[in-house]
A and B are shown apart, each in its own frame.
Chain A
Amino acid sequence: MEGDAELQDLYREVLLDYFRSTRHRGRVASPDIESQGINPLCGDEVVLTVSVRGGVVEDCKIDGHGCVISQSSAAMMSEAVKGQTLEEASKLAEGFKRAMLGQSSFDDLPDVLDEARALEGVQKYPARIKCALLSWNTLLLGVRSHKEGKKEVQYQEK
């Protein structure tokens, strides 16, 4: 649609593609990390299942339901962390969070987060930033708990 620059900037086509795509959806067969993230404010839910081999994310799938922002962000995340070590994956999540919260620039994000840059438009809608961060916070908690030997965890957005 023309004349809706603002809307186009928020819901960029790539977001809608990720939202509709089923590539990353589902659960991995025998997960080493199972982390469920909930935003009680809106009921959005992301269930993250990750298989880890030799400290590297072998597969990462997302399940759950929610808005375009939370679900596309989760899909992008699952794509970005595949093949990364758990440390790298956490670093990516921290970097993305900082950019989203305006503490660093989206331009400085590593190439593997190229697609996730499409979420930059969310910054203009502060009420929606939590939607974009839900899956990344869920990942961070999942990895942290994995190190402590816990497999299943639940994250609640405050």
Chain B
Amino acid sequence: MLKFDVSKIREDFPILGRKIRGKNLVYFDNASTSQKPKAVLEALQRYYAETNANVHRGIHALSQQATDQCEAVRAQTARFLHASGPEQIVFTRNATEAINLVAYAWGRKFLKAGDEILLTGMEHHSNIVPWQILAQEKGSQLKFAPILEDGCLDLEGLKTLLTPRTKLFAFTAMNNAFGTINPVAELLGLAREQGVLTLVDAAQWTPHLRTDVAAWDCDFLVFSAHKMLGPTGLGVLYGKKKLLESMDPFLGGGDMIREVHLSHSTYNEIPYKFEAGTPHIGGIVAFGAALEYLSRLGWEAIDRHERGLTRYAMDALSQEKELRIYGPSQPERRGGILSFNLEGVHAHDVGTILDTEGVAVRAGHHCCQPLMRRFKTSGTVRASFYFYNTVDEVDVMLRAIRKVKEFFKVKVP
């Protein structure tokens, strides 16, 4: 394991040296997408320069090498998740598509009228809308576990919603708007007791915390490569082998078939059954470099650094009187995400002024409109950290926030 030296790490990320409107870029929009280290960019370039060919088809050497590289990353992804085999790893376009895959291929086959799907009040739109479409089609019901004032799940309320009618419980491991970390193992245990299938939306979790699907014993898990140093356009669905095998295909086309006749087709084995068409081969290969980079840093070191940053930022922001921080107050219940509003100032105005200081944050509803409504706001300002961020950068943001207050002359009423 390497010594955790942030200034050295930052040298691996070319974009972090950029100026924005004449100021040093302070990139605090990592929950949207992370930046990419040179190792990932080089892997992408090297793949196209040296190995580019289509996979699973060619009899020629290049095609074989491309296939081998792709399959090596599939195995690497399985190890990263502590999955028992590479056949449990399905490559998709993103976490959203992975959820849609389950809604389509599992839901359309196994869900019936009157069945229920349990979600939570803090889900990303991508973990709501696919289920709404499915429920409408099937005449099934969606239930939403309530959220407490501190942005955490109401576990007692949730328990009453897990009933014999519940067929699937799909929830986020870490909320993207407030950074709330859910008690994943406990939630999975509750569902298991009732014989309910589970899907973990780990899009915000996998970039920051060690993931172990074997220990969690979840049925499905999804995440996106681009939030964890990888390229955009690549997501992953993990599923238990028997479940994946029992499901119908998702998209039809090449690669997912065994034999095609004019009247019918037979399908390939998992995971290929769910991977129609040419996949994002270059992206998969580059994602291998991202996983390697993260494992060299080590999850403990990443977590320690990000927790330090979050605590520092929370302490500093809570000194600001006219500022409301959303989500859990205990740092151990949240990831490196700080969502806040300045009294009397719209989140977009805060976002724009921070941008003039080079600070990139997200302002808006963060694809979590139901959660925003629960907290009676149209949106928040969200600063989200990654391991390459520094305390100095948090200070830049703090100075920018003071500037917003001065500019709009925010006063305590």
Residues of A within 8 A of B (CB): 1, 4, 6-7, 10-11, 16, 41-44, 65-69, 125, 127-128, 131
Contact = CB atoms under 8 A, between A and B. Distances in A.
Given A1-B406, A16-B408, A10 B352 contact: yes
Contact of A65 (B349, B372, B378): B378
Given A11-B407, A43-B379, A6 B372 contact: no
11 contacts: A1-B406, A1-B407, A6-B21, A42-B348, A43-B365, A67-B346, A68-B346, A68-B349, A125-B355, A128-B352, A131-B348
Contacts of B364: 41-43
A43 B406 contact: no
Contacts of A131: 348
Interface in B195-216: none
Contacts of A68: 346, 349, 408
Interface of B: 21, 346-349, 352-353, 355-356, 363-365, 372, 378-379, 403, 406-408
Which of B346, B372, B378, B408 is most buried by chain A, counting CB atoms within 10 A of its CB? B346
B356 A6 contact: yes
Nearest to B355: A125
Contact of B353 (A7, A44, A65, A66): A7
A6, A7, A125: which has the most chain B beta carbons within 10 Å? Answer: A7
Contact of A7 (B346, B347, B356, B372): B356
B371 to A, nearest CB: 13
A131 to B, nearest CB: 7
A5 to B, nearest CB: 10
Q: Is the interface of B mostly helix, strand, loop or mixed?
A: helix
Contacts of B378: 42-44, 65-66
A11 B365 CA distance: 23
Given A7-B353, A43-B372, A128 B407 contact: no
Given A1-B407, A43-B365, A66 B352 contact: no
A44 B364 CA distance: 10
Given A11-B353, A67-B348, A131-B348, 19 more contacts: A1-B406, A1-B407, A4-B356, A6-B356, A10-B356, A11-B349, A16-B408, A42-B363, A42-B364, A42-B365, A43-B364, A43-B365, A43-B379, A66-B346, A66-B378, A68-B346, A68-B408, A125-B352, A125-B355
A98 to B, nearest CB: 23
A65 to B, nearest CB: 7
Contacts of B355: 125
Contacts of A42: 347-348, 363-365, 378-379
Contacts of B347: 42, 67
A131 B346 CA distance: 12
A69 B365 CA distance: 18
A49 B141 CA distance: 39
Which of B347, B348, B353 lies at the interface centre, i.e. has the most chain A CB atoms within 10 A of its CB? Answer: B348
Nearest to A8: B407
B20 to A, nearest CB: 12
Nearest to A44: B378
Contacts of B352: 10, 125, 127-128
Please list the 5 inter-chain residue pairs (A to B) with the smallest Cβ-Cβ separation, ordered nearest first. Answer: A43-B378, A67-B346, A67-B348, A67-B349, A68-B349
A10 B365 CA distance: 23
Contacts of A7: 353, 356, 407
A10 B372 CA distance: 28
Contacts of B348: 42, 44, 66-67, 69, 128, 131
A1 B349 contact: no
A125 B355 CA distance: 10
Given A10-B352, A67-B349, A1 B372 contact: no
Nearest to A7: B356
Contacts of A10: 352, 356
A158 to B, nearest CB: 16
Nearest to B364: A42
